[in-house]
Amino acid sequence: MSDRYASFAHTAPGRALVKRLGLPDPPRLRRYHPGDPLTHGPVRVDAAPGGRLVEPLAKLLTSAGVEISDPNTPRQAALLFDATGITDSSGLRALFDFFHPLARALHPSGRVVVFGTPPEDCASIREATAQRALEGLTRSIGKEFRRGTTAQLVYVAPGAERAVESTVRFLLSGRSAYVSGQVIRIGPAEVPEVDWTRPLDGRIALVTGAARGIGATLAEVLAADGARVVALDVPDAGDALAGVANAVGGTAVQLDLTAPDAPLRLADHLADRHGRVDIVVHNAGITRDKTLGRMTPDRWDSVLEVNLSSQERINEVLLDRALIPHGGRLIGVSSIAGIAGNPGQTNYATSKAGVIGLVQSMAPVLADRGITVNAVAPGFIETRLTARIPLVIREVGRRMNSMAQGGLPVDVAQTIAWLASPGSAGITGNVIRVCGQSMLGA
């Protein structure tokens, strides 16, 4: 769906009018294209005294071909600050000292990443307090810097210093164009060698709801990253599904996820064809909006069934039959409605909050099996789902975020691909919003 306002705002007369009237100014976001360099310019890296990440970061960037700039470089593509050395609130001054002189030095679609220690892993109350404070800085920078800048806080547990590369690569690149204001947690993990041009080479990836929208784009992105995609959707969407599967060289499974025998049929298919499934993305989802007083039981039941219960049943069967091996990735698709709630969406928000519950409760249980469980929570993404929203509400949804525009299916797909990467072994139990830092539930 096209965003006519943004298209107009990108023309010369449009730009002038937007400026004069102080209207929302949606920047052109830098999105990833195969072959792109990691950053479009030099990156400034610094640390508070005692930081344990600054060295591994500098090494990682250099080996990835990124130019590390000195303080006199006028324009930066990204600002990386290792705050793990901050042990009390007076140490927070180091953040001001680093960011203040550089606040106007970022390229459009610049990147800000602050690295900290998870407060729960800190040695003292004062250290935990200071580390928690980092969230306020990063979220505010995301709202303040504008021009497509994204800002994130990455909490790296002690011992996880070598597990950060997939995250650094994702956050610096155009793959994370619509992810901002997020807090990402990385724990210690064995990270295998990764071919960063095709990180999913040889992986089998199941994508539900793959016939259109986010699922169809996800199939493309995972295939481009090297995965063999099993695309699943309802039999009614068979033609579109076949089109997606053929386009990505994958296979199609026509199946209604809510059918009682769906988990067994799916497990049989995966076992017969591939012997396993490395990546499971529960993307299929529906809305049946009505205010609670007007909602019929079938609207409630169908949304809960598709968006949550069927996924639980499928997970259970795939795990019971040991079809998801060590290194496996389970990824749910939640929504900011599941975080913030939404009028007319009690059923949908309940199901999507349930997806978050599923991620958080399964992550520790599956850690021993080397399987990670995470979710993305999209905000306003330009698809058929959001095209149906009445115009005024749609415009509000689109603009009420730090990017002043809706995201694209590819933004969600790239975020899922990052979580699916073998390099993301240290990321589990995370819920990453892909919402351009929406004001809703922020």
**Furthest-apart CA pair in the chain: how many Å?**
64
Question: At 65, is the secondary structure helix, strand, or coil?
Answer: coil
Q: Residues in contact with ligand NAD, total (CB under 6 A)?
A: 27
| Inter-residue long-range contacts of 70-76, CB under 8 Å, 24+ positions, other chains counted | 71/44, 71/101, 73/42, 73/44, 73/105, 74/105, 75/41, 75/42, 75/105, 75/106, 75/107, 76/41, 76/42, 76/43, 76/44, 76/102, 76/105, 76/106, 76/107, 76/110
Under the binding rule (CB under 6 A), the answer on residue 27 touching ligand NAD is no
Which residue has tokens 């079938």? 298
Residue from 386, 414, 430, 437 binding ligand NAD (CB under 6 A): 386
Question: At 134, is the secondary structure helix, strand, or coil?
Answer: helix
Residue from 129, 251, 258, 360 binding ligand NAD (CB under 6 A): 258
Tell me the CB-side half-sphere exposure of residue 236, using CA atoms within 13 A: 3
Under the binding rule (CB under 6 A), the answer on residue 213 touching ligand NAD is yes
CB of 427 to ligand NAD, least distance (A): 20
What is the Cα–Cα distance from 190 to 107, expressed in whole angstroms?
35
First-to-last C-alpha distance (Å) of the chain:
25
Segment 319 to 348, residues that bind ligand NAD, using CB under 6 A:
333, 335
Dihedral of alpha carbons 269, 274, 277, 282, sign:
negative
CB of 321 to ligand NAD, least distance (A): 20
Nearer to ligand NAD, 66 or 381 (CB): 381
CB of 434 to ligand NAD, least distance (A): 8
Residue from 237, 308, 400, 417 binding ligand NAD (CB under 6 A): 237
CB of 346 to ligand NAD, least distance (A): 15
Measuring CA to CA, which residue among 150, 185, 189 is closest to residue 171? 150
Under the binding rule (CB under 6 A), the answer on residue 395 touching ligand NAD is no
Under the binding rule (CB under 6 A), the answer on residue 227 touching ligand NAD is no
Residue from 266, 306, 373, 420 binding ligand NAD (CB under 6 A): 306
CB of 380 to ligand NAD, least distance (A): 5
Question: At 184, is the secondary structure helix, strand, or coil?
Answer: strand
Under the binding rule (CB under 6 A), the answer on residue 384 touching ligand NAD is yes
CB of 247 to ligand NAD, least distance (A): 15
Nearer to ligand NAD, 130 or 205 (CB): 205
Stretch of 125-133, 222-230, 256-264, 266-274 lying at the interface with ligand NAD (CB under 6 A): 256-264
Query: Catalytic annotation on 348?
Result: yes
CB of 258 to ligand NAD, least distance (A): 5
Residue from 110, 181, 215, 422 binding ligand NAD (CB under 6 A): 215
What is the Cα–Cα distance from 434 to 442, expressed in whole angstroms?
12
Residue from 383, 402, 414, 424 binding ligand NAD (CB under 6 A): 383
Under the binding rule (CB under 6 A), the answer on residue 211 touching ligand NAD is yes
Q: Which residues pair with 405 in a beta bridge?
A: none
DSSP state of 221: H
- Which residues lie closer than 8 Å to 67 by C-beta, 6 or more apart? 41, 42, 43
Under the binding rule (CB under 6 A), the answer on residue 235 touching ligand NAD is no
Measuring CA to CA, which residue among 381, 406, 409 is closest to residue 218? 409
Written in H, E and C, the secondary structure of 78-104 is EEEEECCCCCCHHHHHHHHHHHHHHCC
What is the Cα–Cα distance from 77 to 69, expressed in whole angstroms?
10
Contact 125, 87 (CB under 8 A): no
Segment 271 to 290, residues that bind ligand NAD, using CB under 6 A:
283-286
Stretch of 104-112, 144-152, 252-260, 269-277 lying at the interface with ligand NAD (CB under 6 A): 252-260
Segment 103 to 162, residues that bind ligand NAD, using CB under 6 A:
none
Nearer to ligand NAD, 78 or 241 (CB): 241
Under the binding rule (CB under 6 A), the answer on residue 209 touching ligand NAD is yes
What is the Cα–Cα distance from 46 to 159, expressed in whole angstroms?
20
Under the binding rule (CB under 6 A), the answer on residue 78 touching ligand NAD is no
For the annotated catalytic residues, the residue numbers are 348
For ligand NAD, the binding residues (CB under 6 A) are 208-209, 211-215, 233-234, 237, 256-258, 283-286, 306, 333, 335, 378, 380-381, 383-386
